[in-house]
């Protein structure tokens, strides 16, 4: 087990989730006619972050698939750990 690859996969998973949240919020904000400043405020807002994070996590699926096809299972494990950690944070945040 390569710990460095797992940490790299974990960081990639977190970054990909943030990118997914940002893209989703940007698309929805532009469709609603919001300004860029309002969209960035919504990205950083925590009121509906759990719903947006669940969609942002979907962007990690092709990343995991890519690492599994390249025979980098440890990096894929790191991405999956990031997915589980983000999901647990938002599940515990609901309570």
Structural domain harbouring 90: 3-94
Confidence bin at 2 (pLDDT 50/70/90):
confident
Is the whole model's pTM more than 0.95, yes or no?
Answer: no
- Nearest to 8, CA basis, from 89, 86, 74: 74
38-to-20, 47, 62 alpha-carbon distances in Å: 18, 14, 30
Q: How far apart are CA 19 and CA 41, in angstroms?
A: 15
pLDDT in tens, 57-95: 888 999 999 999 999 999 999 999 999 998 888 888 776
Q: Note the pLDDT of residue 78.
A: 95
* Cβ atoms of residues 17 and 53 within 8 Å: yes
- Average pLDDT of the chain to the nearest whole number: 86
56 exposure class (CB count in 10 Å sphere: 0-12, 13-18, 19+)? buried
Number of domains in the chain: 1
Rounded Cα distance, 41 and 52, in Å: 14
> Which pLDDT value is given to residue 46?
65
Instruction: Indicate whether 47 pLDDT > 70.
Output: no
pLDDT for 45 beyond 90: no
Give residue 43's pLDDT.
72
Q: Collapsing DSSP states into helix, strand and coil, what is residue 33?
A: coil
């Amino acid at each position: 087990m390569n710990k460095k690859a797992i940490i790299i996969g974990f960081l990639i998973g977190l970054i990909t989730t943030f990118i997914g949240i940002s893209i989703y919020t940007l698309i929805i904000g532009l469709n609603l006619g919001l300004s860029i400043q309002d969209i960035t405020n919504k990205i950083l807002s925590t009121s509906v972050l759990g719903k947006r994070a669940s969609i942002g996590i979907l962007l990690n699926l092709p990343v995991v698939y890519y690492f599994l096809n390249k025979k980098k299972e440890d990096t894929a494990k790191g991405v999956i750990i990031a997915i589980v950690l983000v999901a647990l944070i938002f599940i515990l945040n609901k309570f």
